């Protein structure tokens, strides 16, 4: 079943209009038709066609500097750090003296799902210490316990000083365990053009894709509750997860910006669309 879906997916992507393109010419082609995928049914699509970020679809987050990972930015719920322009979401980190500010948004309690396909068409920023991410967390992070027991699905992470390399990761368990894989572009880089990043999440497997090509999969995981009770597979990835989009600055993994890091449009992440497809059990997907 899974191999059949993957083969059909590759064909659908080639025929669907999900093509790369620059910010001026690629968008119209990419939106000509919302593709359908065998075994999945469209649940929600955010095309960013309005004049502002929809409050009924998105939450703006607020977090202080160093909240996680020793990151340098402060996340503020302000329009200037996450806004809609020319049919795209723009998340723009800003340097103000020795301080950094950025945007982080999510669909918690507004759009979430358990099992399905989640994808976004994104052009990532570039620069040492710039860390964009498209990822998922549970709607109820306390159901199994605090991170990492609750689980985390990283669909796309690209470090700004190596924009040819994509990271896809699954976090879970107690102690913390991660299943991580990278994908290196053969030509170009993820900051010079748009690419489609996706996962397909089924009860017994999660698969990672870029532009229709599968590069990672996971089919073994577990967790524990806060009182130490072991919860076997498929926990914790058997509950509703929501989408998060953000651009971090600095921290343990990417390192801090240098004097060569610029905070103009090159530091911004551009998101053409986000789409959620639920697993279509009626179509025979298990």
Annotated active-site residue in 157, 174, 200, 202: 157
> What whole-number distance in Å separates Cα of residue 63 and Cα of residue 45?
27
Q: Can 46 be counted among the known catalytic residues?
A: no
Cis peptide upstream of residue 175 (ω within 30 degrees of 0): yes
> What whole-number distance in Å separates Cα of residue 274 and Cα of residue 47?
7
Please list the residues that pair with 245 across neighbouring strands.
105, 134
Cis peptide upstream of residue 236 (ω within 30 degrees of 0): yes
Annotated active-site residue in 71, 152, 174, 200: 152
According to DSSP, residue 142 is labeled: T
Q: Can 47 be counted among the known catalytic residues?
A: no
Cis peptide upstream of residue 234 (ω within 30 degrees of 0): yes
Q: Which two tokens stand for residue 172?
A: 């879970």
Exposure string over 123-146, b if 16+ CB within 10 A, otherwise e:
bbbbbbbbbbbbbbbbbebebbbe
What backbone torsions phi and psi does residue 101 show, to the nearest 5 degrees?
A: -135, 150
Catalytic residues: 152, 157
């Amino acid at each position: 079943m899974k191999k059949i879906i993957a083969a059909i997916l590759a064909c659908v992507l080639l025929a669907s209009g999900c093509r790369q393109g620059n910010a001026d010419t690629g968008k119209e082609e990419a939106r000509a038709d919302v593709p359908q995928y065998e075994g999945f049914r469209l649940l929600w699509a955010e095309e960013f066609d309005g004049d502002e970020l929809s409050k009924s679809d998105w939450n703006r987050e607020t977090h202080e500097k160093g909240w996680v990972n020793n990151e340098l930015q402060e996340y503020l719920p302000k329009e200037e750090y996450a806004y809609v322009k020319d049919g795209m979401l723009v998340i723009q980190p800003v340097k103000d003296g020795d301080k950094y500010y950025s945007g982080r948004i999510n669909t918690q309690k507004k759009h979430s799902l358990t099992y399905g396909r989640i994808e976004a068409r994104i052009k990532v920023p570039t620069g040492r210490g710039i860390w964009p991410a498209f990822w998922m967390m549970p709607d109820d992070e306390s159901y199994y316990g605090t991170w990492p027991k609750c689980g985390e699905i990283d669909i796309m992470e690209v470090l700004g000083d190596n924009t040819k390399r994509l990271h896809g990761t699954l976090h879970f368990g107690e102690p913390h365990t991660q299943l991580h894989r990278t994908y290196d572009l053969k030509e170009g880089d993820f900051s010079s053009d748009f690419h489609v990043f996706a996962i397909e999440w089924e009860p017994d497997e999660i698969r990672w894709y870029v532009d229709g090509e599968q590069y990672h999969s996971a089919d073994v995981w577990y967790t524990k509750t806060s009182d130490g009770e072991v919860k076997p597979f498929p926990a914790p990835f058997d509950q509703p997860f929501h989408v998060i989009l953000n651009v971090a600055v600095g921290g343990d993994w990417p390192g801090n910006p240098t004097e060569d890091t610029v905070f103009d449009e090159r530091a911004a992440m551009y998101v053409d669309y986000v789409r959620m497809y639920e697993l279509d059990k009626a179509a025979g997907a298990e």
